[in-house]
Amino acid sequence: MDIMHVVDSLVCTQRHAGLDHMPLRLLKDGTGKLQVAVDTCGCRPGNWVFVVSGSAARYACGDPSVLTDLTVGGIIDAWDDEQDRVM
């Protein structure tokens, strides 16, 4: 799983039937690379999300027949990024 930033929705007038009618989102990773993911959570531009990749992405979207290798698994509300916390 990775954390990514939602850039925008992706609209396709023609798409492969294997994508079903799943919403698509344009995401940016930590290096600035853009990727397309199936959205199962209703995320919006500006949201931080975690994504599931590879063959597990098909199961994460709820239908293993959907042709995807990147699925939004959830919207991140907050996280503590403090490193090396002393317990």
Q: Per the structure, how many domains does the chain have?
A: 1
What domain range is 42 assigned to? 2-76
In a domain, 87, yes or no: no
Question: How confident is the model at residue 21, as a pLDDT?
Answer: 83
Is the Cβ–Cβ distance between 39 and 22 less than 8 Å?
yes
Unique residue bearing structure tokens 């959830």: 74
In a domain, 50, yes or no: yes
Question: How confident is the model at residue 82, as a pLDDT?
Answer: 65
* Between 19 and 51, residue with greater pLDDT: 51
In a domain, 82, yes or no: no
In a domain, 86, yes or no: no
In a domain, 83, yes or no: no
In a domain, 85, yes or no: no
* Helix (H) or strand (E) run with residue 79 in it: none
Residues 6 or more apart whose CB falls under 8 angstroms from that of 83 comprise none
Question: How confident is the model at residue 50, as a pLDDT?
Answer: 95
Task: Render pLDDT for 36-72 as a digit per residue (tens, 0 to 9).
Answer: 999 999 999 999 999 999 989 999 988 888 899 999 9
In a domain, 71, yes or no: yes
Q: Is 48 left (phi over 0), alpha (psi -120 to 50) or beta?
A: beta
Q: What is the CATH number of the domain that holds 27?
A: 2.40.50.220
Question: How confident is the model at residue 73, as a pLDDT?
Answer: 95
